[in-house]
Amino acid sequence: MNTHISGNSALPMQSGNILIVDDRKENLFALKELLSPHCEEVTCVDSGNEALSLLLKDNHFSLILLDVQMPGLDGFETLSLMRKHPKTRDIPVIFITAIHKDEKYLHLGYETGAVDYICKPIDPVLMQSKVSVFLDMAINKQKLEGDLQQSIELEKAKQTILDHSSEGIVNVDEFGFITFANPASARLLDYDEESIEKKHIFKLLSPDLSFIGNWQQSSYANAIKESSHIKENNVHLYKRDGSAVTVDLSFGSYHKGKEKGGVFVFQDTTERKKEEEALLVLATHDSLTQLPNKLIFKENLSSSISRADRYEHELYIMLIDLDRFKKVNDQLGQYAGDSLLRDVAKRLMSVGRAVDFFARIGSDQFAVIFEDDSFNFDADMVANKLLHAMETPFTYDQQQMDISASIGIVKYPHYGKTADELLDAADSAMQHAKQNGRNQFAHFNTKDQPLMMDKIDFEYNLRLALTNNEITCVYQPIVDTDLNTVMIEVLVRWEHPVLGVLSPEQFLPIAQEIDLINDLGYRVFQLAIEQYQSWCKQGLCSEDVKLCFNLSTEQFFRKMIVNDVLRIREEFGVDLQQIVLEVKETTLLEDVEMTSQVLHELKSMGVSISLDGYGAGFSSLKLLSNLPLSYIKIDRMFNDVEKGVNQKILKSIHHFAHLFSLEIIMVGVETLYQQQFMQEVGIEYQQGFWIQEPVASSEIEQMLSLKTDTTS
């Protein structure tokens, strides 16, 4: 086949790819040369078979030039196969034929699906312009198809958004009639989509349709006129049954050619309101006990203060801290702890009046505000009732839990003018109650003032006190019936650079809280033993004189005290026979088994144990028999021996102490009468201001040197 190619064309290049199918290589070459400048890509194959297999793999062609006369599959057969396959069906094909413009063939070609013929010899200009026209058409068609697809997808996406939006979307025409409503709007208002459409929007905005006539005066119609937006919160929409739903609503207007209208978008706020309310409860209430939290407590306290000022009525705050709550959590687990806290909250509330404001302000801390306009509020009685409420053991999962509380009481405005000041004062008083042995209440007292300082500063300074040598000791002798010093009690002091000398009760509770009690206890050991050894070296005291140290409950945990005693022996080479450890009854009762074990260990090392403050607590006889005690220090509460009852008590304690081979130390001896009484009854040892107040080491030195002078 000869391809006659003449001339060249000035047609612009077009996008699009052309496939040329011709069995003759020279034709392929010539056609490619002619067409390449006018399209993106020209691909050539030399048989119908190859064309079909290429098209099935890759159908990105915009136009095919197909030779009619080919060996194997001819042009007609190739085209009719192409038209059967969906992938190739729509590609335009131009036949190239040397067969004369015989009508029979022309018809056959068009029937098979060719779009045009180019006859050989090829007229390049004619071919290029035909190719150009078909490429144009093919490309436009592809673009249109693409656009159509895109707009179908866009439409689908819009529909999906409208269908799945949780917000109600309603379109109205300029007269306020609904032309479209999405499923959410129908759902929210209990209509089906079709029945909501065509309704007037005022049917949804007002149950009695009374607004309908006023649409043109409505703000929505106005917004359409002015192309503006409206936003409204807490609007009522009415459901099909007439009940109202509260929604947040926005209205946007549009002008599309002559068409005007607006879109209402609304959201049901009922659920959100519920969530907001729940969040508010969560932020202001304790989820465990449902009591208000500290934040709300303080807010309420501030309001109570204003009321107390305005109406001049009385105002009390009580801070209730559970004793050793951590033990319940550690031993019985957190669920038991939670259950206990819930039950404690209920019992505390049962004591108060409806007007009293209870809150849980810390993990094991509750607080109450008592406002009283009758001026006969008996704070002690109420505090006692609160303590009493805890007496019956609590149960969890058939386990019994015992718990007590320490209560701090403060009265407005004596010890604080603001909520924070009052809470701090109540906290100090509560610490006092703890220090006094727990399960009791204490009123705030000016002696606690240092604890009112900024607590953070106080804690920080207390830590520094150890390194700054501000921790010191005073000493108080204990004498026998002949008034010879047989023991010296060591009492700690903090020489605060600003506040002056602080007593242990003013800082020990904080030391306990910040876990400093062991370091502090050890420092007291070091200071006093060093001092004691210096007295012995100077010959001021015989080594029979013992040093008595006070212990806090915390020093028993993890057997810290055993370690400290061993450490002190190593550091100072002190004979442990010279050491007496004073233990409070409340410490022993904390965990009888553990403390008893520790005390036996200490005893076996040579240390003597003295039971401090006996009689103030449980006065358990069983304790006396089971523990390795040497001395009992009777609490000061019995030292008013002018009272007959106290005389009887002292005599009987003395009596049974002897049964257990224990010696008695009477403390708080403040008068000659007391001192003589003790001597008469035969109480072995005495201590108190009458004999000697606690004093600095230099004064003890003087006292001891006077004694040695008189005896030598």
- The dihedral sign for the CA sequence 51, 54, 56, 58: negative
Regarding 510 and contact with ligand C2E (CB under 6 A), the answer is no
Select 221 or 641, whichever has its Cβ closest to ligand C2E. 641
CA distance 302 to 300: 5
Regarding 492 and contact with ligand C2E (CB under 6 A), the answer is yes
Give the distance between the most distant pair of CA atoms in the chain.
158
Task: Give the DSSP letter string of 332-352.
Answer: H-HHHHHHHHHHHHHHHHHHS
**Quick one: CA torsion of 290, 292, 295, 298, rounded to 10 degrees?**
-160
Minimum distance from residue 512 beta carbon to Ca ion (Å):
16
Select 22 or 489, whichever has its Cβ closest to Ca ion. 489
Regarding 124 and contact with ligand C2E (CB under 6 A), the answer is no
Select 204 or 598, whichever has its Cβ closest to Ca ion. 598
Minimum distance from residue 521 beta carbon to ligand C2E (Å):
6
Using CB under 6 A, which residues numbered 372 to 431 contact ligand C2E?
A: none
Select 66 or 580, whichever has its Cβ closest to ligand C2E. 580
Residues whose CB falls within 8 Å of the CB of residue 433, separated by 6 or more in sequence, listed in order: 406, 407, 408, 440, 441, 442
Minimum distance from residue 489 beta carbon to Ca ion (Å):
6
- The dihedral sign for the CA sequence 425, 429, 434, 439: negative
Choose the contact partner of 364 out of Ca ion, ligand C2E, none; CB within 5 to 8 A by kind: none
Regarding 551 and contact with ligand C2E (CB under 6 A), the answer is yes
Q: CB neighbours (10 Å) of residue 149?
A: 10
Minimum distance from residue 690 beta carbon to Ca ion (Å):
17
Select 67 or 582, whichever has its Cβ closest to Ca ion. 582
Select 460 or 689, whichever has its Cβ closest to ligand C2E. 689
Q: In 3D, which of 60, 110, 105 has the Cα closest to residue 83?
A: 110
Select 221 or 583, whichever has its Cβ closest to ligand C2E. 583
Q: Of the ranges 25-33, 452-460, 549-557, 702-710, which one interacts with ligand C2E (CB under 6 A)?
A: 549-557
What is the helix (H) or strand (E) element at residue 233, kind and residue range?
A: strand 229-238
Residue selected from 618, 670, 681, 703 as contacting ligand C2E according to rule CB under 6 A: 670
Minimum distance from residue 303 beta carbon to ligand C2E (Å):
39
E strands present in 350-496: 357-362, 365-372, 394-396, 399-401, 405-412, 441-443, 471-480, 485-496
Regarding 668 and contact with ligand C2E (CB under 6 A), the answer is yes
Minimum distance from residue 548 beta carbon to Ca ion (Å):
7
3-class SS of residue 181: strand
Choose the contact partner of 491 out of Ca ion, ligand C2E, none; CB within 5 to 8 A by kind: ligand C2E
Using CB under 6 A, which residues numbered 353 to 382 contact ligand C2E?
A: none
The label of the residue with tokens 């009732």 reads 385
Residue selected from 62, 289, 428, 476 as contacting ligand C2E according to rule CB under 6 A: 476
Q: In 3D, which of 581, 577, 573 has the Cα closest to residue 542?
A: 577
Residue number of the CB closest to Ca ion reads: 582
Using CB under 6 A, which residues numbered 61 to 100 contact ligand C2E?
A: none
Select 167 or 612, whichever has its Cβ closest to Ca ion. 612
Select 66 or 629, whichever has its Cβ closest to ligand C2E. 629
SS3 content of the chain, % helix, strand, coil (to 5): 50, 25, 30
Could you tell me the strand order of the sheet in which 178-181 lies? 178-181, 168-173, 259-268, 244-256, 229-238
Choose the contact partner of 352 out of Ca ion, ligand C2E, none; CB within 5 to 8 A by kind: none
Q: Of the ranges 219-227, 299-307, 503-511, 623-631, which one interacts with ligand C2E (CB under 6 A)?
A: 503-511
Choose the contact partner of 167 out of ligand C2E, Ca ion, none; CB within 5 to 8 A by kind: none
x-marked contacts with ligand C2E along 606-625 as a string, rule CB under 6 A: ------xx------------
Regarding 519 and contact with ligand C2E (CB under 6 A), the answer is no
182: number of CA atoms within 13 Å, CB side?
A: 20
User: Is the bond leading into 413 cis (omega within 30 degrees of zero)?
Assistant: yes
CA distance 161 to 263: 15
CA distance 223 to 604: 95
Minimum distance from residue 501 beta carbon to Ca ion (Å):
18
SS (H, E, C) 453-486: CCHHHHHHHHHHHHHCCCEEEEEEEEEECCCCEE
The label of the residue with tokens 């052309």 reads 18
Residue number of the CB closest to ligand C2E reads: 688
Regarding 485 and contact with ligand C2E (CB under 6 A), the answer is no
Select 168 or 521, whichever has its Cβ closest to ligand C2E. 521
Minimum distance from residue 678 beta carbon to Ca ion (Å):
17
Regarding 673 and contact with ligand C2E (CB under 6 A), the answer is no
Choose the contact partner of 694 out of ligand C2E, Ca ion, none; CB within 5 to 8 A by kind: ligand C2E
Q: CB neighbours (10 Å) of residue 285?
A: 17
| Structure-token pair, residue 9 | 């064309």
529 and 547 in contact (C-beta within 8 Å)?
Answer: yes
Minimum distance from residue 446 beta carbon to ligand C2E (Å):
15
Regarding 689 and contact with ligand C2E (CB under 6 A), the answer is yes
Length of the chain: 712
Select 594 or 691, whichever has its Cβ closest to ligand C2E. 691
Chain-centroid distance, C-alpha 93:
72
Select 1 or 681, whichever has its Cβ closest to ligand C2E. 681
Regarding 504 and contact with ligand C2E (CB under 6 A), the answer is yes
| Structure-token pair, residue 385 | 């009732």
Q: What is the binding site for Ca ion (CB under 5 A)?
A: 550, 582, 612
Q: Of the ranges 28-36, 536-544, 546-554, 650-658, which one interacts with ligand C2E (CB under 6 A)?
A: 546-554
Select 266 or 494, whichever has its Cβ closest to Ca ion. 494
Please tell me what DSSP assigns to residue 138.
H
Q: How many residues bind ligand C2E (CB under 6 A)?
A: 21
Judged by phi (left if over 0) then psi (alpha if -120 to 50, else beta), residue 412 lies in beta
Minimum distance from residue 560 beta carbon to ligand C2E (Å):
12
Binding site for ligand C2E (CB under 6 A): 476, 491-492, 503-505, 508, 521, 524, 550-552, 612-613, 668-670, 687-689, 694
